[in-house]
């Protein structure tokens, strides 16, 4: 399968990439890892007239701890995330999620920014970023703006990134207290999209009271979804087993899965309930 | 549509080519540079038959554009053996019956090169996760895992494991 014809530029600076975007408007697509875009182009689901390859721009790929947060450059590869001891040490959820994203070769190309900018509720990082309450940095001709993860996803393949903008980074706040995180997805085989996936981050104070709960759901809603009611049930509580089971039930009630080859609606709701409960417990066990 | 001039180093030898931006890297390797050891299986980045090393990282060359390889080094199965003989992975696959039809083998070996570079002494589970992006429809994987364990031992200079084939 061969993509339709297109023109190709590989700028070496962000400014150059932005001016190419200005020039070509929505005729252009940004090429990051390419492992969502190139398959779509090969299937002719996408036929951009111009590809702007941002792989040669230095500085877009980095993992930095900056005071109260971690900063990830948009072009940080999944394999770099997977092997960053600093990041997976602070947020074990990244070790969970990267292992379940596609396979090692795809993770050598795929980027964390691309995973979000693709705007697909079946991708795994959207739910993770919701659990972590991340914010996304978007750079355009006017400079860089920051968008909270809850204001980032608009619809199927639609995000806050405008045609003249590029997602350039992700910022992840460190929660106070004892913090733990976990992710799991049920998948039919390596490389498949999630039948259902759940990302959880929990923080507690010295008395064991929950001070923060973030729960994101993968592929059980048209857009990446936060299990808000479940989070609210947990915050302020002592995280009893009974309450955790209730929070998991709420997530399974609030999501909107569609039946497909991976399972019917009832099955997916059941998965959400089971995985949410397990991931909350795992996040609490990991809290430090 | 503008043609692009690119230069790549394939198994140590420099090549230049004038290509359409839409040309896939696997087609550049097989058709322009005539190195047909790299196979095209699924053409959808599932099977891993087209796995090559791009600047030392294993990637699926059916899902990379040739223009993305400009200025980079490519290693394919043709680049594994040296004048001294087979690469430890080639020897491992040979000694352990790590292949039947051989279609997945080049991709499997190139993937294993990077796996062993990152982790010279992987557990069986780490090997199985490590080759989870490569499909084999013949062997049932057991002898491939043994081949990679054999190559790891050879590279480390450890005693070589038994090469009794496993029939399953």
Domain boundaries of chain B, sorted by first residue: 4-79, 88-156
Task: Determine, yes or no, domain membership for A67.
Answer: yes
Beta bridge partners of A159: A153
pLDDT computed for residue A64 by the predictor:
97
Task: Determine, yes or no, domain membership for A58.
Answer: no
User: What is the third-level CATH fold of B4-79?
Assistant: Ubiquitin-like (UB roll) (3.10.20)
Do A98 and A165 share a domain, yes or no?
A: yes
* Tokens matching residue A100: 């379940």
Task: Determine, yes or no, domain membership for A1.
Answer: no
When divided into structural domains, chain A yields a total of 3
* Nearest Cα to Cα of residue A21 among A119, A167, A136, A170: A167
Residues of B in contact with A191 (CB under 8 A): 46, 132-133
CATH code for position A154: 3.30.465.10
If you count residue pairs, one on A and one on B, with CB atoms under 8 Å apart, how many are there? 88
A86-108 tens-digit pLDDT: 999 999 999 999 999 999 999 99
Residues of A in contact with B65 (CB under 8 A): 8, 31, 34, 38, 51
CA-based torsion, A72, B57, A95, A195: positive or negative: positive
Query: CB of A191 within 8 Å of any CB in chain B?
Result: yes
Name which of A34, A103, A107, A188 to mutate to probe chain B: the one with the most chain B Cβ atoms within 10 A of its Cβ.
Answer: A103
Do A156 and A248 share a domain, yes or no?
A: no
Name which of A104, A107, A111, A114 to mutate to probe chain B: the one with the most chain B Cβ atoms within 10 A of its Cβ.
Answer: A104
Q: Smallest CA–CA separation between A7 and chain B, in Å?
A: 5
B34-87 tens-digit pLDDT: 999 999 999 999 999 999 999 999 999 999 999 999 999 999 999 999 999 999
Do A44 and A80 share a domain, yes or no?
A: no
pLDDT computed for residue B163 by the predictor:
84
Do A123 and A167 share a domain, yes or no?
A: yes
Domain end point (choices A173, A200, A228): A173
A197-211 tens-digit pLDDT: 999 999 999 999 999
**pLDDT at residue A133 above 60?**
yes
CATH code for position A226: 3.30.390.50
What does the mean pLDDT of chain B come to?
96
Please give the distance of CA A46 from its chain centroid, rounded to a whole number: 22
Q: Smallest CA–CA separation between B87 and chain A, in Å?
A: 21
Query: CB of A44 within 8 Å of any CB in chain B?
Result: no
* Mean pLDDT (whole number) for A186-202: 96
Write b or e for each residue in A227-258: b if 16 or more Cβ atoms lie within 10 A of its Cβ, otherwise e. Answer: beebbebbeebebeeebbebbbbbbbebbebe
Query: CB of A39 within 8 Å of any CB in chain B?
Result: yes
Q: Quick check: helix, strand or coil at residue A102?
A: coil
Do A202 and A159 share a domain, yes or no?
A: no
Name the residue facing A103 among B20, B114, B132 (closest C-beta). Answer: B132
Write b or e for each residue in A203-223: b if 16 or more Cβ atoms lie within 10 A of its Cβ, otherwise e. Answer: bbeeeeebbbbbbbbbbbbeb
pLDDT computed for residue B165 by the predictor:
63
Query: CB of B68 within 8 Å of any CB in chain A?
Result: yes
Do A143 and A203 share a domain, yes or no?
A: no
Phi and psi at residue A286, to the nearest 5°: -80, -10
Second CATH level (architecture) for the domain B88-156: Orthogonal Bundle (1.10)
Q: Which domain holds residue A140?
A: 63-173
pLDDT computed for residue B167 by the predictor:
63
Name the residue facing B45 among A10, A31, A35 (closest C-beta). Answer: A35
- Give all strands (DSSP E) within A38-160, no chain letters: 50-53, 63-66, 69-73, 135-140, 143-148, 153-155, 158-159
pLDDT computed for residue B168 by the predictor:
57
Domain end point (choices A15, A31, A53): A53
Task: Determine, yes or no, domain membership for A2.
Answer: no
Asked if B22 and A3 come within 8 Å (Cβ–Cβ), the reply is yes
Nearest CA in chain B to A41: B22
């Amino acid at each position: 399968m061969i993509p339709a014809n297109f023109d190709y530029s590989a700028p070496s600076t962000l400014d150059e990439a932005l001016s190419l975007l200005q020039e070509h408007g929505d005729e252009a697509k940004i090429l990051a890892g390419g492992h969502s875009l190139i398959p779509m182009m090969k299937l002719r689901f996408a036929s951009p007239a111009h590809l702007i390859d941002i792989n040669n721009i230095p500085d877009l790929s980095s993992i930095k701890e900056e005071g109260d947060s971690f900063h990830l450059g948009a072009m940080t590869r999944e394999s770099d995330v997977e092997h960053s001891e600093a990041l997976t040490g602070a947020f074990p959820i990244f070790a969970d999620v990267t292992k379940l994203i596609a396979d090692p070769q795809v993770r050598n190309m795929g980027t964390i920014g691309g995973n979000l900018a693709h705007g697909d509720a079946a991708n795994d990082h959207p739910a993770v970023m919701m659990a972590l309450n991340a914010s996304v940095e978007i750079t355009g001709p006017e400079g860089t703006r920051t968008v909270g993860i809850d204001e980032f996803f608009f619809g199927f393949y639609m995000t806050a990134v405008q045609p003249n903008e590029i997602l350039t980074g992700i910022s992840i706040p460190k929660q106070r207290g004892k913090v733990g995180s976990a992710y799991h997805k049920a998948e039919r085989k390596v490389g498949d999209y999630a039948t259902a996936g759940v990302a959880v981050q929990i923080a507690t104070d010295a008395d064991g009271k929950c001070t923060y709960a973030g729960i994101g759901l993968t592929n059980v809603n048209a857009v990446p979804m936060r299990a808000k009611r479940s989070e609210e049930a947990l915050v302020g509580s002592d995280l009893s087993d009974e309450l955790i089971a209730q929070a998991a039930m709420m997530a399974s009630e609030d999501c909107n899965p569609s039946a497909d080859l991976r399972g019917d609606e009832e099955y997916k709701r059941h998965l959400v309930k089971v995985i949410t409960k397990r991931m909350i417990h795992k996040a609490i066990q990991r809290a430090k | 549509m503008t043609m692009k001039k690119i230069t790549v180093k394939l198994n140590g030898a420099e090549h230049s080519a004038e290509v359409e931006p839409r040309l896939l890297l696997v087609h550049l390797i097989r058709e322009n540079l005539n190195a047909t050891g790299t196979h095209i299986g699924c053409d959808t980045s599932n099977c891993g038959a087209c796995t090559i090393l791009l600047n030392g990282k294993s990637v699926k060359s059916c899902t990379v554009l040739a223009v993305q390889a400009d200025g980079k080094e490519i290693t394919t199965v043709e680049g594994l053996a040296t004048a001294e003989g087979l690469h430890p992975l080639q020897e491992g696959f040979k000694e352990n019956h790590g292949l039947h039809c051989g279609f997945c083998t080049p991709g499997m070996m190139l993937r294993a090169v990077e796996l062993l570079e990152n982790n010279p002494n992987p557990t069986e589970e780490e090997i199985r996760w490590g080759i989870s992006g490569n499909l084999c429809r013949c062997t049932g994987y057991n002898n491939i895992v043994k081949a990679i364990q054999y190559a790891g031992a050879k590279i480390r200079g450890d005693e070589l494991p038994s090469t009794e084939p496993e029939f399953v």
